Amino acid sequence: MTDKQKKQITGSEVLIKCLENQEVEYAFGIPGGVLIPIFDKLVNSKIKFILTRHEQGAIHMADGYARVTGKPGVAIATSGPGATNLVTGIMTAHMDSIPIVIITGQVVTPLLGKDAFQEADIIGITMPIVKHSYLVKNVNDIPRIIKEAFYIASTGRPGPVLVDIPKDVSTDIFAADMDQEMDIPGYKVPAKGDKKDIERMAGILKGSKKPLLLVGHGSVISSAEKEVKALAEKLRAPVVSTLLGKGGFPESHDLSLGMLGMHGTAYANKALINCDLILSIGSRWDDRINGNTEEFCIGAKKLHIDIDEAEIGKIVKADSYVVGDAKLVLRDLIKLIEPLDTSEWLKECEYYKKQFPLKYDNSKGLTIPYIIDEIYHLTKGKAIVCTDVGQNQMWSAQFYKIDDGKDWYSSGGAGTMGCGFPAAVGAQFGRPKDIVVAICGDGGFQMTIQELSTMAIHKLPVKVFVMDNKYLGMVRQWQELFFDNRLSGVDLLGNPDFVKVAEGYGIKGININDVKHARARIKEALDYKGPVLIHCEVHKEYNVFPMIPAGKSAFHMMIDPPKAKK
């Protein structure tokens, strides 16, 4: 050990140095009593700490940052309620396989398990929703643990890793080497797929006349966009995506059919019904695209590429599968396949596009899909789009075509209302030169509205579109369609004047309440150099179609609203 290393340093100093070694640029969070020693060492750190107004905002910002940069996000919160306020965002990241390292403060080790002030067993609470977690009891373990945390979070199938640090550990004197080896027994990261499995998959592909590629989030995480495009073009196969797979294949491409599933395009779901083979690349066949497994792609061969072996056969029994990194597996697969005769199949899919286009009707008032369509054309598809959850999310997925998967943020598995706006803030920190658009419903936006302060303080030029239909719109839609319009608990009576709220934070506010002026005001917002909130007063009872009812297959797709009963 050198003289420099022998200099007494505390656990807090070691922690900050380890985070700097991981090239952490930003950390999002809120301090607290047990974190003060750590925050004291943040003062002179290279890490920029972003003080949020709620821990939920912090974890969603870390999530948004991670998705658009491909680097792990970092969130910091104090013990007890600070840590538990992160739980929703941790679950969101876990369900969507997002690399986040969470640092939580904890009471001193002698008080663990004794219900001390602001003690919470955050390890136990979050165990089902993290990829891994650590309770640090020895200051000398910090370098190894932080190195492992970032490695585990970002390799294989990514996910959140939590590191819980008692206050006395953060103040203890460090007496070990900073450069420590990782020790992760049993943790193996799948890479290249098995050669025989790939050859078998290639052989099955050769027999297809009506192939369909299903692009999931795994392909985006793997950065396999070039390989997916090369495979689709070589096979001449149409491509559909999951909600989180948007951009894994460019949606402006002629072979793209857009998103499939519950609120996917009608032509994507028609192709799903009629294909003779479907190859899932990093998709887990979840219930939003496969509401009824017995009626899913009847008679079609089902092929599956996934880095997580636990997903193989979990929902759909595959005729052939390969476990491995999508990018590497596709590189090997492409070498083994030849172009297929899909001319008739492509004509069929083109017919579906023309016969069942996406559409909206502004005749009875301003609609959300119209606004999103205008945003798409005015940004020329080059913005980072962060959606909240609900109707706004589904219309965004339908009408904003994504050509790069890292330009898209949406909560898939968890469906977390309130995530979209803070995620956009995190995305803007991660890619400050890009246009970032947050598309939120009036319900979800109010769950994390206080982060307008974070956006204002840092002068982040996020364009926040609040779609105000004065309802929890998706729940209202289901109540209308399936519960005889017995509305219950969905009326957002008492919505504030969102423009005044924005102005109260020092943010420019713009109001849109008619079709005539909508395009000009959307352009004004997009051209504005600073943060701006655009309040969109939209049709109150406009519904998202197409729609596949819950538990049903694509055979039961509702393309248009049902006719009113006489």
Q: Residue 498 has which token pair?
A: 């969102």
Count helices and strands (H / E) in the chain.
23, 20
| Joined tokens for residue 272 | 């799903």
Q: Per the structure block, which two tokens stand in for 76?
A: 């910091």
Place of tokens 């219930």: 287
Angle between helices 266-274 and 343-355 (to 10 degrees): 140
Name the β-bridge partners of 321.
304
SS3 11: helix
- Scan for tokens 């004291």, then name that residue: 40
Which one of the listed residues 117, 482, 483, 555 is annotated catalytic?
117
Q: For residue 280, what is the enclosing H or E element?
A: strand 277-281
Instruction: List Cα–Cα distances, 65 to 25, 309, 414, 469, in angstroms.
Output: 10, 27, 18, 29
Q: Among residues 55, 119, 227, 311, which one is catalytic?
A: 55
Q: What is the DSSP track for 151-162?
A: HHHHSSS--EEE
CA angle at 548 for the pair 542 and 554, rounded to the nearest 5°: 145
Catalytic residue list contains 55? yes
Could you confirm whether 296 is annotated as catalytic?
Answer: no
Write the CA distances from 290 to 272, 316, 317, integer angstroms: 10, 9, 13
Q: Which residues have a Cβ under 8 Å from the Cβ of 117 and sit 6 or more positions away?
A: 80, 107
474 noted as active-site residue: yes
- Cβ distance 136 to 164 under 8 Å? yes
How far apart (Å, rounded) are the C-alpha atoms in residues 26 and 16? 12
Determine the length of the chain.
566
Phi, psi (deg, nearest 5) at residue 135: -105, 110
Q: Which of 17, 41, 167, 301 is labelled catalytic?
A: 167
Residues 411 and 548: their CA atoms lie apart, in Å, by: 19
Rounded CA-CA distance 374/468 in Å is 17
Options 25, 49, 118, 199, the catalytic residue: 118
CB 534 within 8 A of CB 512: yes
Q: How many angstroms separate the Cα of 515 from the Cα of each of 22, 233, 537, 539?
A: 49, 39, 10, 11
- Give me the phi and psi of 240, to 5 degrees please: -120, 160
CA gyration radius, the chain: 24
> 55: which 2 tokens?
């821990």
Show the DSSP H helices in 431-472 as ranges.
442-445, 452-457
Question: At 213, phi and psi to the nearest 5?
Answer: -95, 130
Spatial separation of the C-alpha atoms in residues 301 and 299, rounded to whole Å: 7
**Kind plus residue range of the DSSP H or E element containing 5:** helix 3-6
Edge-to-edge strand order for the sheet containing 132-135? 48-51, 26-30, 73-77, 100-106, 160-166, 132-135
- Among the listed residues 447, 474, 547, 557, the single catalytic one is 474
Tokens of 164: 């819980």
Active site residues: 55, 117-118, 167, 474
